[in-house]
Structure 1
């Protein structure tokens, strides 16, 4: 682990619906939908299949969503974000916790050791960094508020919640 304590085990079979993924990643549903439709971050558990179907995002998907948001907020171009996400997609969920993404605003660099970070900074290339392990903890803390079972989400989205209340009232 590059920064801090070892990370907790994550249930990689757990699925989270779009509204929960948005809350945990700090993005809007419109961003989530656009990123899924354009292939930037697609749900790995279940994609949308027609009107009314629910996408299910894994922990790794939500972690990547939050990293994407951080990169975009820092002014990294969408093209560079797509490149970075492509690199992250090939990593296992445990591997992500050891990565620090550094950027000079134009390019994104993947560092897996303190030496790589120092070399990058000495070369004048790094302007900011995102320790993915820290983002991991933030996402884990956000998702802890929502109950999950296996590959199914227990937490309901707002529309499903309204439907259930209406059914129970009659």
Structure 2
């Protein structure tokens, strides 16, 4: 994780705030977190509904590399993109940052940092921002220090967002990535037609 001093104002804008290095730290309220299978994915409309964004935003963010589907990327006409739990979690965090006035440019720097973290690691993080810089806090003391210093205008407790995404996704169907859509979706009309053409 890269940290930056105050002189580096033009660099990436996510900054660790006195983040302690703790080996094998258990997530707070671990029993409360959803079990996540990163090989399971959700289609675009589900990702939009859970993250609270439009399909146009989802498509634009995927094409520009902000948040790409990690279970199954788009690979030609008719391919259904599949977003993982973590992808949808990041989409929801991006939406919240946008809603509070953080620019997309600053959000991109934050997303680069968040992308490398697992869901349980992210659940321990609170993101604080003053509208320009995004700070990562991993303890209540970090949050208090930022607010006292006038740097934290708003915060996003990522653990709470993890729980919200888990609860919302439980209502939607999920899929596993497969190489052949005819195998992955045996009841799909298009897949049936393709099988018929292949077998004559």
TM over 0.5: yes
After superposition, the Cα gap between the structure-2 partners of 1:5 and 1:102, relative to the gap in structure 1 and judged at 3 Å, is farther
What corresponds to 1:8 in structure 2?
34
1:29 aligns with 2:67: no
Where structure 2 has 5 or more consecutive residues not aligned to the other structure, the ranges are 1-26, 179-186, 194-200
Q: TM-score, normalised by structure 2?
A: 0.72
Q: Aligned Cα RMSD in Å?
A: 2.2
Secondary structure at 1:106's aligned position in 2? coil
Runs of at least 4 residues off by over 4 Å: 1-5, 149-152, 161-164
Distance 1:113 1:4 in 2: 16
Q: TM-score, normalised by structure 1?
A: 0.84
Distance 2:155 2:67 in 1: 21
1:145 aligns with 2:149: no
What corresponds to 2:111 in structure 1?
85
Where structure 1 has 5 or more consecutive residues not aligned to the other structure, the ranges are 153-160
Secondary structure at 1:35's aligned position in 2? helix
Aligned residues: 157
What corresponds to 2:135 in structure 1?
109
CA contact under 8 A between 1:2 and 1:112: conserved in structure 2?
no
Distance 2:79 2:30 in 1: 39
1:52 aligns with 2:78: yes
